[in-house]
Structure 1
Amino acid sequence: MGEFTMLPTQMRHIDLPTFGGPEVMTMATGRLPAVRGGEILVKVEAAGVNRPDVQQRKGAYPPPKDASPILGLELAGEVVSVGEGVTDFKIGDKVCALANGGAYAEYCAVPAGQALPWPRHYDAVRAAALCETFFTVWANLFQMAGLTEGESVLIHGGSSGIGTTAIQLARAFGATVFTTVGSQAKQEACEKLGANRAINYRSEDFAEVVKAETGGQGVDVVLDMIGADYLQKNLSILAKDGCLSIIAFLGGNVAESVDLTPIMVKRLTVTGSTMRPRTAEEKRAIRDDLLAQVWPLLDAGTIGPVVHAVLPFEKVGEAHRLMETSSHIGKIVLRF
């Protein structure tokens, strides 16, 4: 199938000449990425902004060896070239994809096994707000923690991109949903999305609320992005055979003086993962699950991404500053 002949040789992309604050990112020009076997080249129309992008900008989240050094982990756009062996997509298809890097650019090469069609009636902005959070939530909440119908879950950071996705998916698959938030506006937004109870951690003790709401039983799963600061409380509110799934360390990665007794007494599982180091095969398996079980819900409009702000690529610094304030509800998207 080979290269599409009309492609330019140069593209604009967000460059990271040095680690630091949002101001270090600049618009630059460079060569289009080469398309390897099993990959598709996408002309990027929009890209999602995620916490790992902020960490990479600061020098705390280096890309894998074979990944693009350009920032950006999710995108939406049009397939303009397909590599050898690709049968899932053809030139002209509108796709969204989980990138291993390189999404903050006019063109990005992604493994075909990490791409999905735009859901029905979606535009580039909505499609670009899907992959990073949906892959992460599906892998951690459903595949690893095994959340099922009739169970209960506490989702920390309910107003984040991950949180708004997790609330909707957990509810759609029949779980009772509790979440933590930092303001009344976020509380209302999360309950509107389907949370049975959004707990304002600034004015309430989430552990006490969860215990009261569950009659002392606790929840079956906790999806946590805080880490060390919440570890003891998370263990205390898990029900027997419950699972704590850790996906980030916003509250630190080293916990001291933690009583591990609940793990033994309640037969708890503590697990966690990051998406980027997973193999192409693992990501394809998540993609296939999403296509079969979640994309029909997106097509039907039962669930959908919450987009807080859309900014032009030139305002990438502003997008990162907004992400770091944590004042947003849902996703921040860059558009070319």
Structure 2
Amino acid sequence: MSALDPDLAAYFASLGTLFPPLPADPTPLERRARYWALVGLGRTPLPSSVTMNDVQLDLASGKVGVRLFYGHDGADEPVPTIIYFHGGGWVVGDADTHTVTCARLAHEANALVVSVDYPLAPEAHWRTITDACFEAASAIAADRVAQDAGAPIALAGDSAGAHLAAVTALRARDEGNFHIALQALLYPTVAPDFDTPSYSEFAAGPGLTRTDMQWYWRHFAGDDQAANDYRIAPTRAASHAGLPPAYVVTAGRDPLRDEGRSYVRQLRGAGIEVAHDEFDSLPHGFLRMAKYSAATDAAIARLNRRIGELLRASRS
């Protein structure tokens, strides 16, 4: 197995001099403040070709903001649409923390990216969060189909956002109200299982720790973590047959690595076409670390382009 990318090893070493440790059981506000600080520290310029627009959706579960990123170069039509759910353990993050990620995806995938600013736990119940994501995706898809019926649509997300993308793909299959050409799951968390080999190997990070993930799952699902409900854990769906093709990205130095690998096997076992890339030397959360590492910057460019390529291939 590859060692941690040396540039990122230096980055993680520097964090100890920049930030004091969080309390043993931080509040959601403390987690959010730390995350916003880390994102701000690593922010890179937006691609100059990308334009943005904010819209509010009035959904059954409440009002949800979305941010549209237009990265299309006009070279081919119809324009692919990527509905994006941000990471942050269902508790932290928002459209602002993932603006660079989504703008770069729009540019490098040559697509329209719609970032969903869903309600956060623990203030919002997991049912409300998953309902809001599904309702937002339904509304976005209906609008895109009305404007261009030939435009392929992807669901995408990182970490907990990948969980929400996977849940939404299952609901779209079961409730049958819109077609998804691709689910792009970037270092996904898909079940509250903390006993995998990667959870043991990377229990102390780098970055994300097993204790962190236990905290996030507790704030998202609480006492419902064991419920036999795919909105809690997509792995618990009665069947994965009939889901859209998937592109799964895992990070080699990530506690979540093995559950991502396992979901690849589960999908393939159900006959789903799955492309899988693993970046051996990178940690969880590397999408916000391009500023610090050439290897990370190259990995992000590769996965963004691949999402665009897979979406366009779905039309053929």
- For normalisation by structure 2, the TM-score amounts to 0.35
Larger radius of gyration: 1
- For normalisation by structure 1, the TM-score amounts to 0.33
- Taking CA–CA contacts closer than 8 Å with sequence separation of 6 or more, which of the two structures ends up with the larger relative contact order? 2
Could you say which structure has the higher helix fraction?
A: 2
